[in-house]
Amino acid sequence: MSNRLKRRLVDLGVDPSSSKANESFCLIGTPLPPLEKSKDLGEFVPLWKQEVRDEKGRRRLHGAFTGGFSAGYFNTVGSKEGWTPSTFVSSRTERAKQKVARPEDFMDEEDLQELRDSRKLVDTTDEMDFAGTSKAGVDEPEKDSIASALEASLLPPPTDSAGARILKKMGWRLGQGIGPRVSLRKRKLQDLQISQGGRVSSDLADIRDDDEEASKHTYAPRDTLVLLVERKDNAHGLGYTPGMGLHESVGGKRGTESTKGHRIAAGFGLGALNDADEDDLDVYDGGLASHRRQVAYDTTDHGDEDVVTIGGRLERGKKPPVQPASSAAVFRDGQPVLAGFALSDKPVAEDRSFPLPDVPDGWTPDPRRVWDRYQSKEHLPPPAEPTKIEGAWDTKITADQRGAMLGETPLPSAPRSVFEYMSKKDRERIQNIAANQGRPPPTPGTTALPSAALPHEATRIPRTEPQIAQAALRGFQPFAADPAKQARYNAYLQSQVGTDAAGPPLQPLPGQRIDEFNKEVEDYAKAALLFKPMSAAMAGRFTSAAVVEQGPKIHEGLHTPSQEEMEREEEEKKQEEEKDVSPKVHAARMGMYGPMTRETKPWQPARLLCKRFGVKDPNPEPEVVVPPAPAPAEPGSNWQEPEIPMASTSAGMGAETGGARKGIKDISNIGLGEDEDQGRDTLTYERPTMDVFKAIFASDEEDSEEEENKMEEDEPPEPNASAALSTGVAAAPAPVDTGPVDLSTFKPTFIPRESKAKKDKERDREKKDKKKREKEKRAVLSFAMDEEGGDELEPRPSKDRPKKKKQRKEKREEADDEDGMWVEKPAPDVVKDLTLPPPPQPMEVENVPDSGPPNKGRKRAVDFL
Amino acid sequence: MAPSRGPEPLPRTVHASLEAHKGPVNVARYAKGSAKYILTGGQDRTIRLWNANLGTEIKVFAAHGYEVLSLSVSHDNAKFASSGGDRSVFLWDVATGVTTRRIAGHMGKIHAVEFNEDATVVASGSFDATVRLWDLRAMNRQAIQILDEARDAVQTIHVGPTTIITGSVDGHVRTYDLRKGELRSDFIGHPVTSVVPTQDNQTYLVTTLDSHVRLMDATTGKMLNDFTGHTNTAYRCRACFDHAEATVIVGDEDGMIWAWDLLDAKVLPPNPPPKAHQKVITWTEHHPTDPNEMFTASADGTVKVWRHPATVT
């Protein structure tokens, strides 16, 4: 875009590199890229133009699949020189030399850098571990040599920290202290200080200069060990040691280490390979100095020496803590109370503990005894009153009970039964009668036999009225689902009906407890009552079912069909399958192979398959068979030339017309596309009858010639002959000359031979002048039009013209083949359009009007007239 | 061979036993032409080329990642196709022993693979119930055509000059007639494991898993003969004709080689035949030109070449 703009500007004479041309007035949106390449590196580059390059200027991130990596040479496996695949070389002879390819061999420098970075496991800021001091400092259980050796081999070797490296460069060696070199005397003093743990003044210490030679040199100061602060990983208070008594905690760890054995004298170090001799042992090493190893730098106010001296921790700890003025209190043992705390006056209340009771001899724990006792207690009827009196408010007692407890007189309540209305005497009488008869009083239903006299486990069989039992027998059967129970129910009822009919009285089932049996029988009695039979009148209306309906059997748990069930189901399934089996399968099963089992259907093999098998396509081009008319008559031709798919499309056309058409098409249809369907509607177009034209165009003033001209103007391809024939007006202007035809104005024209002969010369001449004028106008106008871009104004003619020509041709051939002839130049229409028309010759002018100069011009001319 | 003498007795003397496969031999084919060589494919993922006369192994073709289930040798013996569990058809160059092409596209293991006559098309039938026809002239990744009429795994394919016959587990033998543009499907009713047409393409032999071998009329679909006696209920046991097409031969699951007279469907003596293999005989093929030779391939890992005792010497 900018290129075109630039070119245009250059054409206009504007320097594209000038600042004026490059000035941007763009306020919104993305401005166009500048016309000239500027040196501006920060210039806007569209995203698709941006590139990523590494520090060496190589392009990165190219391609869709790189994913940000740059692989090989432009994402190939090769190099700039190309790629040679590795050739197979037998490794038989040089197996020993065989090099194992490492991943690094395939890495480029970026990968290697990355790898190197990732290998830096040890942090450079790590402290150097001096000869395992951290291990030595902590009093840990002694490791056996194997363990330590293993540890040493497994752990990464300690690296020097930066500080250690600097120190080493300054002359420091492992095992030495830090500081300026000191004289032997001072060093001995240091030793003394360390060993005694106190500040020994230089005067007091009698340091003999045993060796003159030794005093001439300066020595590195003694090493000081780093104060190791143990990590606190418990929840105890500061300074608290678990399992330590008060005194011990106050006194410190005194004496724990002194028992460990002799100390090596502090004066001289031991070599790594030397063993501690007896001479080396510090005989005077006191217990107090046991912590001398755990010392740190401590500046002291020992003024005379400007040397860093070492103070023991213990000594520092012994230093009386700075006491705040406010707290003067002191513990009993002389320890001062911490600031902010006050000493309590009260002694600490000791926890009182009671001695365990003495266990009698021979006692063995036996919980069952206890349980038994409590169980038996539960079984006993609890003495109700005393427990209630106990005091605890029991919410369970009813108002009546409470009233009884309080000694209230019970409220007169409503009489509960008929008996209560009777006098006591009557009641007794009735009871007597009942007792005599052995029957309960005639209360409705049944009453449980008062079997208080019987032992607890006796069976109680409630009585049922015989009639009721009788009716119940006939009536509803409540336990139909459980036949066994129903049988027992029936047995019960029968036993109740009368002793004569009934079998043996109902007995508890084997394995059934008495109370369960009692309950069961009670249920029966209730059921008999509940399903009280209807009155006789009602009952007569119904009959009980003859068949005892068995309810659906319900299986408990997961349903697993039994073997026979499954078999049955399979059988059913098989039968069903048998039923809906297709006749084909049935035939196959019967062994009746043949038409029953055979299915034939069309199948279209792929064309390529046919080609590969060397077989003709069985149904070639099924879509070709669309035009039905003559195709079945000669299917052979259709198949023999399948490369002409449209061969049979024009039904009415013979073979030779098709060929002629083709020829015409080849010559004159240049540039009009190969679309055979183009202009088909034009072909099938039927011309309206002449009357219509007459009605529209015929006018009184104009003579027939003019009229016809007009018609031609509207229907330029209309052949003269047919027009003349239909109108009956011999008006066709015959071209006199068929010789040299001007290409520009040429139109294939039909010239009837008769009319050519009959031409009326005067008329011709008359017309000539008229038309010459006309034609000149037209020609001028029409070409002006062309130059202005007539294509857009008139898109039709270029397309339609050949079709119309064709149409005319066909019509001609149909109608007047014998008396007509073609005058045609093999010039394509395009040529005509392109060449400028020379001033029309008088002879040719004759030709022009009927054959029609370019249509575009005509229309204009009509308008003009 | 003379028809007057009746069917030739079956060659029942072991001429050579080809034992190098580590597992069952699933398929074995004679080479084309004079058929001096046998190509076998086994469960051990290898394809081996043997000299049938000498009984020596010539070459091992190993590229399959799964078992080899089918083989097909091209007409010029220059290449062969194989297929199996790895869902691709492998085309091999016999001389170099490398695969020249691997055609993927099937969704399941390929049970059958077959060249057409001039090895321009290879057909493969798969567990995915399709038959795919691949063009070997062009390096097209797409199949020329997919025959998906089968409703179950396609077990066997025969490609004739103008027909493609497939046998499927759905119990159908489908004949795709290219010349007629027609598909004829014959319902057999039991899983079809092998279909072998006669030379004249008028009949074909169908092996099904109901222990039957049936001779079917290709034109009408009628059953011409039914051969029973053997047991074949689970494995693909390929039946074949003898040289004169007067006998039907099949190895069964008990390792016995059965032979029937084609016309009266009587078991040729000895009946029952002796046990030839320890395990199921998966493939039986008669020499295309030599009436004295046939071989059987078995799941016991051996391929036995059988000849008449007279010719063994």
Q: How far is A859 from chain B (nearest CA, A)?
A: 59
Given a cut of 60, whether residue A792 has pLDDT beyond it is: no
Residues sharing a CB contact under 8 Å with residue B226, sequence separation 6 or more, in sequence order: A591, B212, B213, B214, B215, B265
In this complex, the residue of B171, B180, B214 whose CB is nearest that of residue A618 is: B180
Omega prior to A46 cis, within 30 of 0: no
Dump pLDDT digits (tens) for A465-490.
777 777 777 767 777 777 788 888 88
Residue B7 has pLDDT above 80, yes or no: no
Distance from first CA to last CA of chain B, Å, rounded?
A: 21
Q: Pairing between strand B131-135 and B121-126?
A: antiparallel
- Cα separation, B240 vs B215, in Å, equals 11
CB–CB contact A598 B186 (8 Å): yes
pLDDT tens digits, residue range A695-721? 888 766 555 554 445 454 444 444 444
Closest-CA residue of A relative to B170 is: A585
- How many other C-beta atoms can be found within 10 angstroms of the C-beta atom of residue A270? 12
For A665, the token pair is 């098409």
Distance, CA of A437 to CA of A435 (rounded, Å): 5
How is residue B241 annotated by DSSP?
Answer: E
* C-alpha separations of A64 from A76, A78, A111, A327, A666 in Å: 13, 18, 21, 81, 49
Position A625 scores a pLDDT of: 40
Left, alpha or beta for B87 (phi > 0: left; psi -120 to 50: alpha)? left
Task: Report, as an integer, the average pLDDT of A515-535.
Answer: 76
Asked whether residue A638 carries a pLDDT value surpassing 80, the answer given is no
Confidence at B47, pLDDT banded by 50, 70, 90: very high
Q: What is the pLDDT of residue A850?
A: 47
Asked whether B217 and B225 are in contact (CB, 8 A), the reply is no
Q: Does the structure show a pLDDT above 70 at B242?
A: yes
Give the mean model confidence (pLDDT) for residues B110-134. Answer: 92
pLDDT band of A248, cuts 50, 70, 90: low
Q: Which of B137, B166, B178 to mutate to test the interface with A (most CBs of A within 10 A)?
A: B178
- Average pLDDT estimate for B91-103: 90
DSSP letters along A495-524, please? HHH-TTT--SPP-PPTT--HHHHHHHHHHH
Instruction: Give whichever of A465-469, A600-604, A677-681, B137-141 has the largest mean pLDDT.
Output: A600-604
Instruction: Give B159-216 pLDDT, tens digit per residue.
Output: 998 899 999 999 999 999 988 889 999 998 899 999 999 988 899 999 999 999 999 9
Q: Would you call B187 an interface residue with chain A, using a CB distance cutoff of 8 Å? A: yes
Q: Residue ranges of the alpha helices (H) in chain B?
A: 309-312
Per-residue model confidence (pLDDT) at position A761: 52
The CA–CA distances, whole Å, from B287 to A766, B35, B80, B242, B296 equal 102, 7, 18, 8, 11
pLDDT at residue A535 tops 50: yes
Please say if the pLDDT value at position A238 is more than 90: no
Q: Nearest CB to B144: which of A594, A604, A608?
A: A608
A609/B162 touch (CB, cutoff 8 Å), yes or no:
no
Closest CB to B223 among A591, A605, A617? A591
More confident residue, A559 or B272: B272
**pLDDT tens digits, residue range A330-343?**
777 777 778 778 77
pLDDT of residue A258: 41
Please check whether residue A733 is in contact with residue A767, taking contact to mean a CB–CB distance below 8 angstroms: yes
pLDDT tens, residue by residue, A420-466: 677 778 888 888 887 776 544 444 444 444 444 344 556 677 777 77
Q: Mind listing the pLDDT tens digit for each residue in B135-155? A: 998 888 889 999 988 989 999
Beta strands in B229-292 (DSSP E): 239-241, 247-251, 257-261, 281-286
- Domain layout of chain A by residue ranges: 2-60, 171-230+242-318, 457-542, 604-644, 697-864
Question: Is the Cβ pair B144, A609 closer than 8 Å?
Answer: yes
Residue B12: both structure tokens together? 């029942």
Q: Is the pLDDT of residue A270 over 60?
A: no
> Looking at beta carbons, which residues of chain B come within 8 Å of A582?
none
Q: What residues of A are in contact with residue B222 (Cβ under 8 Å)?
A: 593-594
pLDDT tens digits along B62-77:
989 999 999 999 999 8
A103-155 pLDDT, tens digit per residue, is 777 777 778 888 888 876 655 554 544 444 444 444 445 556 677 766 666 66
Instruction: Report pLDDT for A816.
Output: 46
Mutate to test the interface with A, among B98, B144, B228 (most CBs of A within 10 A): B144
Least confident range of A19-33, A71-85, B32-46: A71-85
Predicted confidence (pLDDT) per residue in A280-303, tens digit: 555 554 444 444 444 344 444 444
Is residue A798 scored above 50 in pLDDT? Answer: no
Q: Is B178 on the interface with A (CB under 8 A)?
A: yes
Chain A contact set for B135 (CB, 8 A): 608, 612
- List B13's β-bridge partners, or say none: B307
Alpha-helix runs per DSSP H in A360-398: 367-379, 384-389
pTM above 0.80, yes or no: no
Separation CA A272–CA A174 (nearest Å):
12
| Per-residue pLDDT at B302 exceeds 80 | yes
Which residues does A131 contact at the CB level (< 8 Å), separation at least 6?
A174, A175
Q: Under DSSP, is residue B239 helix (H, G, I), strand (E, B) or coil?
A: strand
Instruction: Return the number of CB contacts < 8 Å for A and B.
Output: 92
Tell whether B139 lies on the interface with A, counting CB pairs under 8 A: no
Residue A610 with chain B: CB contacts under 8 Å: 178
Structure tokens at A537: 């009148």
Q: Which of A597, A604, A615, A617 to mutate to test the interface with B (most CBs of B within 10 A)?
A: A597
Question: Between A588, A591, A603, which is nearest B183 by CB?
Answer: A603
CATH fold of the domain at B22-242: Methylamine Dehydrogenase; Chain H (2.130.10)
* pLDDT confidence bin for B48, thresholds 50/70/90: very high
Mean pLDDT of chain A: 63
pLDDT at position A235 is 83
Interface check for B226 against chain A (CB to CB < 8 A): the answer is: yes
Tell me the pLDDT band of A830, cut-offs 50, 70 and 90. very low
Average pLDDT over residues A799-822: 48
Question: What is the average pLDDT across B256-262?
Answer: 90
Rounded average pLDDT over B213-221: 90
When comparing pLDDT for A398 and A773, which is higher? A398
Among candidates B144, B180, B187 on the partner chain, residue whose Cβ is nearest the Cβ of A588: B187
Give the confidence band of A648 by pLDDT, cuts at 50, 70, 90. very low
A241, A162 in Cβ contact below 8 A? no
Nearest to B188 among A588, A613, A618 (CB): A588
For residues A179 and A171, what is the distance between their CA atoms, to the nearest angstrom? 11
How close, in Å, is residue A41 to chain B by CA atoms?
A: 49
> Taking CA atoms, what residue in B is nearest to A615?
B179
**CB nearest A615 (choices: B120, B162, B220):** B162
Phi-psi region of A713 (alpha: psi -120 to 50; beta: other; left: phi over 0): alpha
Greater model confidence, B194 or A694: B194
- Within 8 A of A594 by CB-CB distance, chain B residues are 220-223
Contact A613 B162 (CB under 8 A): yes
> CA nearest B167: which of B185, B183, B180?
B185
Average pLDDT on A641-650 reads 42
A599 interaction partners in chain B (CB closer than 8 Å): 184-185, 187
| Distance, CA of B167 to CA of B163 (rounded, Å) | 13
Instruction: Judge whether residue B308 has pLDDT over 80.
Output: yes
Q: For an interface test with B, which of A596, A601, A603 has the most B Cβ atoms less than 10 Å from its Cβ?
A: A603
Contacts of A641 (CB under 8 A, 6+ apart): A647
Domain extents in chain B? 22-242
pLDDT at A4 over 90: no
CA A293 to the chain's CA centroid: 63
Q: Do A593 and B133 touch (CB under 8 A)?
A: no
When pLDDT is cut at 50, 70 and 90, the band that residue A492 belongs to is confident
Residues 6+ apart with CB under 8 A from A833: A786, A798, A854
* Residue A310: other Cβ atoms inside 10 A: 23
Average pLDDT over residues A622-626: 46
**Which pLDDT does position A309 carry in this prediction?**
43
A321 Cβ contact partners less than 8 Å away, ≥ 6 residues apart: A336
Residue B268 to residue B284: CA distance in whole angstroms: 16
User: DSSP class of residue A73?
Assistant: B
Task: Please name the member of B135, B179, B185 whose beta carbon is closest to the beta carbon of A599.
Answer: B185
Residue-wise over A62-99: b if at least 16 C-beta within 10 A, else e?
A: eeeeeeeebeeeeeeeeeeeeeeeeeeeeeeeeeeeee
Residue in the structure block whose two tokens are 């500027």: A38
